[in-house]
Amino acid sequence: MKKDAVTTEIIVQENKIGIMRVGNVNYISLSDLARYKDKERTDYIIQNWMRNTNTIHFLGTWEYLNNQNLIPSNSMGLKMNLEQMLLL
């Protein structure tokens, strides 16, 4: 953990959600969010989120917009789908 990282918790609908602040960026605990849906099988909840088409599109769009080192030949299918989505 970086020295400038600060951790805290918030309560959302009676559930503790961990937050880590690094510099000016907040990171929310996916495990804590998943625990709201299923306390025993947070791994399944996160797997389903990661397979969800909307999540894949969000992550792909973020990567396309923020990763200057993105290699188009390695992600050509992703790039084509993103360009179609951004034109809609």
Domain boundaries of the chain, sorted by first residue: 1-49, 52-88
- Alpha helix stretches (DSSP H) within the chain: 30-37, 42-51, 53-66, 76-87
Question: Which residues of the chain, if any, have pLDDT below 50?
Answer: none
State pLDDT tens for residues 50-68. 888 888 778 777 877 888 8
pLDDT given for residue 73 in this prediction: 59
Question: Residues with Cβ < 8 Å from 34, sequence gap 6 or more?
Answer: 42, 45, 46, 49
